[in-house]
Amino acid sequence: MKTIKVIIAGPRGRMGREAVKMVQETEHFHLEAVLDRKHNGKVLSDIEGFQGVNADIYTDIDECFSQHQADVFIDLTTPETGYIHTKKALESGIRPVVGTTGFTDSQLAELKELAEEKELGCIIAPNFAIGAVLMMKFSQMAAKYFQDVEIIELHHDRKLDAPSGTAVKTAQMIAEEREAKKQGHPEEKETIQGARGAVIDGMHIHSVRLPGLIAHQQVMFGADGQTLSIRHDSYNRASFMSGVRICVETVMKVETLVYGLENILD
C-alpha cells in the first residue's frame, strides 16, 4: 500500500494529539510535519507528550507547504483558522480532511467550488465517530414515520460553536425525509429568549455545554402515546480516530468536496 504523507494542524489540541497518535500507529501513513501557532522551527518530540515523534513544527502554512510535499492535510483547529487552512491546502494541491466544525454554508460552497476546480478530494466531517453517523442515519430513517422531533446536543464547555455541526447535519438529513413543520404549539411564546433553542426547518436544537461531557447527542421523536430516542455518546477523543483514518484513505480517491462521514461509509 502506498504511504500517505500527512500534515496535521492543531497537534497540541485534544483532537490533534489523538490524530498524531493515530497517524503514527497507522503503517501506511507518514507524519510529514505539523502546523501549530507556537514552537516554530522545533520538532514535535521537543514538546511534552510527543516523545519520539520527529515531525517539524511550522507556524506559517506557506512555509510548511513549501518545505513538505504532503498528500493530505488534517485540520483540527478553530473555525476561522480551519477555513483559511483548508483553502490554502486546496490551492496548494493538498487534499484536506477537516474535523474543525463551525464553517458557514457560504464557506462550504466556496470550498466545494475550489475542490472541483482543482479536481481534489476534500472531506469535511463534523463528526468522525462512526456511532454518531449511524445515529444520524437512524434518525433520518425514523423521520419517515415520526414527524415530530427535537434534537438535544451536549458538549464540553470549551466548544466554540453552537449548535454543533453534528446537530445541524442531523437536522438537514431529517429535513430530507420530513416535511417542514414548526415544532410545538403554533402560538407558543418564549417568556425567556432562547428557551426553545435554535430552529432548523421547524425542528428545535438545544445545546448543553458542561465540563465532564465530550460529545453526545439525543434525537427525540414523539407521537401519540410514544417517544423514540436515538442517542450517541463519545466518551473520549479516540472514538473519532477510526473515522479520521477512513477519511484520510478516502480523500485520496475522490475529486470533490464531501461533507459528512455518512457520505463515504458503505
Residue range at the interface with ligand NAP (CB under 6 A); choices 47-55, 62-70, 121-129, 168-176:
121-129
Given 29, 103, 221, 240, the residue binding ligand NAP (CB under 6 A): 240
Do residues 6 and 14 lie in contact, with contact meaning Cβ atoms separated by under 8 Å? Answer: no
Given 4, 73, 77, 206, the residue binding ligand NAP (CB under 6 A): 77
* Other beta carbons within 10 Å of 51: 9
**Cβ-based nearer residue to ligand NAP, 37 or 144:** 37
Rounded-to-integer distance, Cα 31 and Cα 48, Å: 18
Any contact of residue 163 with ligand NAP (CB under 6 A)?
no
Any contact of residue 36 with ligand NAP (CB under 6 A)?
yes
Any contact of residue 127 with ligand NAP (CB under 6 A)?
yes
b/e sequence 196-220, b meaning 16+ C-beta within 10 Å: bbbebebbbbbbeeeeebbbbbbbb
Rounded-to-integer distance, Cα 5 and Cα 94, Å: 10
Least Cβ distance, residue 4 to ligand NAP (angstroms)? 19
Task: List the beta strands (DSSP E) in the chain.
Answer: 4-9, 29-35, 56-58, 72-75, 95-98, 122-124, 148-155, 198-200, 203-209, 215-223, 226-234, 257-259
**Cβ-based nearer residue to ligand NAP, 165 or 197:** 165
- Contact set for ligand NAP, span 43-72 (CB under 6 A): none
Any contact of residue 20 with ligand NAP (CB under 6 A)?
no
Q: Given the rule CB under 6 A, which residues bind ligand NAP?
A: 9-10, 12-16, 35-38, 76-78, 81, 99-101, 125-128, 159, 215, 240
